[in-house]
Amino acid sequence: MPEPMSELTGLGVSPGRTAGPVYRMSPPPSLPAEPPSVTDSAAEVEAAAAALRFVADELTRLSGQVEGAAADVLDTESMMAVDPTLADAVSRRVDAGRAAAWAITDAIAEQQEAFAAIGGYFAERAADLADIRDRAVARLLGLPMPGLPMPGEPYVLLADDLSPADTALLDPATVLAIVTRRGGPTSHTAILAKARGLPAVVGCAGVLDLPDGAVVSVDGTTGFVSTVDDAEVASIRAEARRERARLAAFTGPGRTKDGHPVPLMLNVGGAADLVPDTEGVGLFRTEFLFLGRTSAPTVAEQERAYAELFGALGDHKVVLRTLDAGADKPLPFLGLAAEDNPALGVRGLRIARDHPAVLADQLEAVSRAATAAAADVWVMAPMVATAAEAGAFVEEVRKAGLPTAGVMIEVPAAALQARRLLEVVDFVSIGTNDLSQYTMAADRMNGALADLLDPWQPAVLELVAGVASAGREAGKPVGVCGESAGDPLLALVFVGMGVTSLSMSGPSVAAVRAALAAHTLADCERLAQLAMDAPDAPSARRAVAEAGA
């Protein structure tokens, strides 16, 4: 076997550094080479249905063991397992002579191919389908369920990709870090690794060539995975412990060394995602109320969900994003047509063009929940491209009785027209995930394009700086709620540009708070200029790291 490379590079999606031996996920169940003949189609259909119901029930059970984002994604996968479309596809294959396990495998392979072709949200759900397949096949063949390795020592988990169930149940006391060959910055691996504070690297080609037991260092910030000596492991882990202790010493509101306030907010899907010592919520995602449903949630249902979060926040601010869905995040009750390029299609605020009642009902529910709570509720719309769209949204928000309306800056058109948008809205929030993919024409789910998706890209930084400048001129808030807000170095750059608040996952707050506390506003402005002057993303990151250390 050839000697593995000493250093591999992927996409760092959950910060932190650690070291330890690597172990792979156990392989999925294998089908026998020759499928059995089908003598009773009805019995095979029922066996397949029973296996899928078992999988759905098991995922629901696992969901009950976790909270927040982990529970949400497990519930979504559970619904996928009993989706009627999958059941129909399996039945057709049984009728064509395929035994239950083979029928499920074939039907899911077809769905995965279709999802991959659509891209975006669908492409990331291909891993969920693979997990459903493996669990159902194991059930039908009487084989052990696929799962995590148990080597008897703390380890770095290697996998081609991880299912939500696998990621949601990781024990941080045993799993030191995650490295996958596939996956993107918004995959379940990335989301759930951050929620657990585990360093994670995705899209790391060649990582599966490492043999079990090989000792590596994993840096979830830079994306570097390096083979190291056993003697280095203890020092790397000790340094990581010291860093965690150092960060934990910083508490209170976000502010620079000279006292310039920079509220550090949270990106959440519900009350379970809140963490102590929070300054509020900068991005409340509402999609989980809508996804996978055959009918829209009622105003009363939505009101209860919003009220739970608003109540938990006391008098803190919460920025609620209205429904961010479309052909890339399917909503069966809307009946949206399939699109050749859903990332550029009917999504976000554009849904209201043909389905205005969906937005009206959501705003009514938000207004009712806000009226009964002390929280300072702001509302913003996703996928806004023009000042006219922004103005129409503000009208709807005002009509619902809500006082503060804003929009997300996710497409270059909105960034370039920020001054016009800020004439009609109360605030803007920059979603750097989408802004990066639209600016660089690189699908953010494609790990092979990680270098283009880097938020340090000069073009992306220039757009952010332009929006921040427009906000300063208008005297209105400009936040950043994309994942890049949780990068301590990039946070300094954003503040130096004039960004007024940063919103991120809970585990990222401490490092950003500490970085701000070590630098004055003038320092941040100097670092921002260094980043803006750099010719490329690696140079920008390196310049800021060297000057800001």
Please give the DSSP secondary-structure letter assigned to residue 320: E
E strands within 230-326? 264-268, 280-284, 317-321
The partner residues of 280 in beta bridges, in order of sequence, read 317
DSSP label of 17: E
CA nearest neighbour of 537 among 84, 294, 100, 223: 223
Q: What is the DSSP string of 443-509?
A: -TT-GGGHHHH-TT-HHHHHHHHHHHHHHHHHT--EEE-SGGGG-HHHHHHHHHHT--EEEE-GGGH
- Which of 523, 496, 526, 488 is closest to 257 using CA atoms? 523
Report residue 466: phi and psi, to 5°. Answer: -65, -40
The Cα 442–Cα 333 span in angstroms is 30
Please name the residues in contact with 150: beta carbons below 8 A apart, sequence gap of 6 or more.
none
Of the listed 316, 481, 519, 524, which one is catalytic? 481
For this structure, is 524 an active site residue? no
In the Cβ-directed half-sphere of 268, how many Cα atoms lie within 13 Å?
28
- What is the rounded CA–CA span in Å between residue 219 and residue 487? 13
Answer yes or no: are the C-beta atoms of 408 and 384 closer than 8 Å: yes
The dihedrals phi and psi of 216, each to the nearest 5 degrees, come to -135, 160
Catalytic residue among 188, 316, 355, 519: 188
Helix axes 458-474, 488-497, angle to 10 degrees: 40
Q: Are 325 and 351 in contact (CB under 8 A)?
A: yes
- Asked whether 345 and 339 are in contact (CB, 8 A), the reply is yes
Contact 497, 526 (CB under 8 A): no
Cβ neighbours of residue 382 closer than 8 Å, sequence gap 6 or more: 321, 322, 324, 347, 348, 349, 407, 408, 410, 431
Based on the residue annotation, tell me whether 355 is a catalytic residue of this protein.
no
- Residue 526: count other Cβ atoms within 10 Å of its Cβ: 16
Q: How far is CA 124 from CA 161, 163, 444, 449, in A?
A: 10, 10, 10, 15
Whether the Cβ atoms of residue 31 and residue 46 lie closer than 8 Å to each other: no
Tell me the C-alpha distance between 350 and 392, whole Å.
11
Pairing of strands 478-480, 11-14: unpaired
Query: How far is 536 from 458, CA to CA, in rounded Å?
Result: 6
Catalytic positions are: 188, 481
